[in-house]
């Protein structure tokens, strides 16, 4: 395996020139960051906007397979992430970021004009290429932004994703009510096309390259294995955990991942360097990332269910708010998420280590989830608790990429971050399944189906248990953060494997 640093040409307008000129923010740099942040905002609201449009979609296409529209996006994003990360290290992170944005835009266009539900799902699957944009973005920032701006820029890029969640329900409702569900997909087509052009115009290509062969066999094994596990977990509650289809996907996926591990250990140039993944700094960063994203996935599913349940049901919780009314609970989460990211960015830029900041974020999230579990019958305290969770999420979102920047050299940044990205995708998919399996088996409210129109409600005790599951995931994040080395040393290449142009 060879690594090299290519020369970027030293153009006067480049961000590298800005670095040499004084490590300062420039208008071009600000536009570059804004473009990247907005792409990640599109990723953040994509799942939510499609969820709101789903009732209209399933009625239009007369299908009962609405879950595939949500799962296809996550599946493609998770299974392609390792390959895209490797390609980014080989050929350039900006190239792969723009390619992912282009494919996602094409996917949205396919969905916008789809004449059948199968075509709609195919387009939605292609839109899943937005998922790798998360790790590609902060890997690219690390390479081309001035060193003194990197910590803050990465933190803004990764934690700013919470802010758009506040107006998103209003935007989505207006689009669907006035222009139909297809307008959601046109929104993504136009937005991604504009942002792709903006990134191309304002962001330089990374000068860092990894000289290595591409492990196609490893990419297939790992991608298919991740897909099998996610399908099994996602549809296990519907198919039944003992069903042949569920077991086939789960066992098949696990077998393929094991096969990838075996082949990766035998190759000189595997898809992902297992020696890097086994280092304490990378392994526990990946675990912490999965846990804090899992907290986010579960809490943001539970909270609207709790708040939107009518109080008249007499379950001991619920305010009967509408989707738009839920914005008063979403606002503290979004604002606190951004605030948490900014805190990490500013402090890391002032030489504070991201490890203790990740631990503090985990404590904040655990405290918010725990308090929500035991006190959720009053709006104001609930908004405060949601803010604590949001603060922890923002600090976690921002600390993880800064930890990877400390631990992994630029040449392996994207491929290593892609595996962390898989953890960030899998945990939010798995944790809600665990929570709702517990809820459905033990805590379904004894309400006659005729009164609920087929909607399942849960007891107050059930929500308490579900929020405590989220708190446990936050505590697991805390343990992973504490297990990280106090001083992270960057993984080193052997001297004979490094060359510089």
Q: What is the pLDDT of residues 388-412, one digit of tens each?
A: 999 999 999 999 999 998 898 888 8
Query: Do 280 and 261 reside in the same domain of the chain?
Result: no
> In the prediction, which pLDDT does 442 show?
84
Which pTM value belongs to this model?
0.84
- What is the pLDDT, as a whole number, of residue 120? 94
Query: Is residue 296 assigned to a domain?
Result: yes
Q: Are residues 371 and 474 in the same domain?
A: yes
**pLDDT value at residue 5:** 44
Does residue 256 share a domain with residue 199? no
Domain finish residue from 270, 287, 304: 270
Q: What is the 3-state secondary structure (H, E, C) of 288-303?
A: HHHHHHHHHHHHHHHH
Give the phi and the psi of residue 275 in degrees, each rounded to 5. Answer: -65, -35
Say yes or no: 361 and 419 in one domain: yes
Return the exposure string of 454-480: e unless at least 16 CB atoms fall within 10 Å of the residue's CB, then b: eeebbbeebbbbbbbbbbbbbbbbbeb
Q: 474 and 358, same structural domain?
A: yes
> What is the pLDDT, as a whole number, of residue 323?
67
Domain membership of residue 444 (yes or no) is yes
**Quick check: is 230 in a domain?**
yes
The structural domain count of the chain equals 3
206, 238, 259 - which closes a domain: 206
Q: Are residues 261 and 313 in the same domain?
A: no
Do 177 and 260 lie in a common domain?
Answer: no
Please check whether residues 222 and 187 belong to one and the same domain.
no
- Quote the CA–CA distance of 481 and 132 in Å, as a whole number: 24
Same domain, 82 and 103: yes
- How is residue 304 written in tokens? 């609207």
Instruction: Based on the fold, state whether residues 392 and 469 are members of the same structural domain.
Output: yes
Residue 114 included in any domain: yes
Residue 5: inside a domain, yes or no?
no
Positions of the chain with pLDDT under 50: 1-22, 494-501
Name the residue range of residue 256's domain: 216-270
Q: DSSP string covering 343-406, please?
A: HHHHHHHTT--HHHHHHHHHHHHHHHHHHHHH--SSHHHHHHHHHHHHHHHHHHHHHHHHHHHH
């Amino acid at each position: 395996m060879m690594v090299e640093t290519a020369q970027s040409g030293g153009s006067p307008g480049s961000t590298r020139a800005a670095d040499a000129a004084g490590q300062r923010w420039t208008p071009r740099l600000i536009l570059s960051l804004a473009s990247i942040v907005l792409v990640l905002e599109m990723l953040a609201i994509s799942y939510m906007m499609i969820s709101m449009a789903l009732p209209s979609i399933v009625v239009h296409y007369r299908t009962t397979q609405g879950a595939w529209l949500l799962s296809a996006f996550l599946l493609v994003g998770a299974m392609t992430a390792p390959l895209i990360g490797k390609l980014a290290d080989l050929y350039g992170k900006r190239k792969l970021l723009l390619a992912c944005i282009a494919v996602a835009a094409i996917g949205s266009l396919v969905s916008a004009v789809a004449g059948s539900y199968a075509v709609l799902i195919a387009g939605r699957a292609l839109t899943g290429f937005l998922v790798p944009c998360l790790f590609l973005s902060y890997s690219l920032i690390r390479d081309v932004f001035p060193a003194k701006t990197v910590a803050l820029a990465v933190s803004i890029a990764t934690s700013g994703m919470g802010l758009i969640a506040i107006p998103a329900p209003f935007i989505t409702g207006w689009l669907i009510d006035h222009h139909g569900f297809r307008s959601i997909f046109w929104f993504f087509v136009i937005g991604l096309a504009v942002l792709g052009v903006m990134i191309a115009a304002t962001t330089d290509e990374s000068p860092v390259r990894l000289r290595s062969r591409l492990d196609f066999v490893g990419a297939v094994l790992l991608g298919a294995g991740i897909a099998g596990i996610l399908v099994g977990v996602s549809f296990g509650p519907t198919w039944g955990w003992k069903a042949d289809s569920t077991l086939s996907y789960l066992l098949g996926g696990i077998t393929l991942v094991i096969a990838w591990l075996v082949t990766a250990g035998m190759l000189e140039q595997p898809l992902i360097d297992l020696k890097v993944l086994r280092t304490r700094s990378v392994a526990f960063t990946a675990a912490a990332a999965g846990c804090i994203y899992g907290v986010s996935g579960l809490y943001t599913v539970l909270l609207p269910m709790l708040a939107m349940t009518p109080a008249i049901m007499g379950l001991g919780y619920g305010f009967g708010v509408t989707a738009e009314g839920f914005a008063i609970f979403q606002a503290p989460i979004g604002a606190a998420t951004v605030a948490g990211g900014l805190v990490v960015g500013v402090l890391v830029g002032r030489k504070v280590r991201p490890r203790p900041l990740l631990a503090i974020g985990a404590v904040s999230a655990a405290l918010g989830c725990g308090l929500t579990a035991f006190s959720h019958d009053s709006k104001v305290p609930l908004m405060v608790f949601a803010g604590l969770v949001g603060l922890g999420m923002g600090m976690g979102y921002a600390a993880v990429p800064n930890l990877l920047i400390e631990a992994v050299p630029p040449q392996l940044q994207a491929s290593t971050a892609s595996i962390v990205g898989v953890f960030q995708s899998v945990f939010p998919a798995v944790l809600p399944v665990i929570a709702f399996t517990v809820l459905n088996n033990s805590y379904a409210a004894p309400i006659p189906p005729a009164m609920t129109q087929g909607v399942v409600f849960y007891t107050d005790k059930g929500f308490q248990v579900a929020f405590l599951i989220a708190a446990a995931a936050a505590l697991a994040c805390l343990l992973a953060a504490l297990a990280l080395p106090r001083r992270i040393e960057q993984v080193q290449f052997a001297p004979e494997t490094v060359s510089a142009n």
